[in-house]
Amino acid sequence: MADEFYNLPLRLDLITRGQAAKEVTHARQVTCSMDDSIRNNLYLITTTQYNEARYDGRFGCTIWDDDFSAGNDSVYILWTDRIEKSLMAAIRRYEPRLDRVKVEVSVDREGTPDAHKLVRIRVLAEVAPSNRRPFVFQREIAVAPFTTKIR
């Protein structure tokens, strides 16, 4: 049981069923590998706003604090730096299975209006319980606020 990790979305209906039904579907739908479990946790961290999780208001990252900020390149540099620091702190606090973590955040505005952005997050690390095996997590988040033009 210590080697089992639950997959997202969590299927409580399959976990709480009788043993016969659980054996048939357990491996396919309920559990996942350690790497997938880490990816699921990082996904939750990046998609959760501070104070959204009732059990711990520190869980999440700062990307959602400034998701409607629009500006020039210097604002994006400060914004991505703030997100990197926020994610690094959250990973240290909530993902102890990773060591030697490096977080890279970039903003892509190619082909989109100025206020729309695609945030690319990349986490490079080593999985501590597996003799420091390399680990990579990559996610793109579309942050597209509403915009208006003054006439």
How far is the C-alpha of 20 from the C-alpha of 119, rounded, in Å? Answer: 44
Q: Assign 140 a pLDDT band (cuts: 50, 70, 90).
A: confident
Are residues 110 and 67 both part of a single domain? Answer: yes
Which residues, in sequence order, are CB contacts of 21 under 8 Å at separation 6+? Answer: 14
Are residues 45 and 27 both part of a single domain? Answer: no
Are residues 71 and 9 both part of a single domain? Answer: no
Give whole-number Cα distances, 142 to 36, 106, 147, in Å: 22, 12, 15
How far is the C-alpha of 148 from the C-alpha of 151, rounded, in Å? Answer: 9
Mean pLDDT for 94-114 is 83
pLDDT tens-digit profile of 48-92?
888 888 888 889 888 877 655 545 556 677 888 999 999 999 999
Are residues 126 and 78 both part of a single domain? Answer: yes
Domain that holds residue 119: 38-143
Say how many domains are in the chain.
2
- 24 located within any domain: yes
How far is the C-alpha of 60 from the C-alpha of 90, rounded, in Å? Answer: 7
Q: Assign 147 a pLDDT band (cuts: 50, 70, 90).
A: very low
- 118 located within any domain: yes
Are residues 20 and 76 both part of a single domain? Answer: no
> Do residues 104 and 86 make contact, with C-beta atoms less than 8 angstroms apart?
no
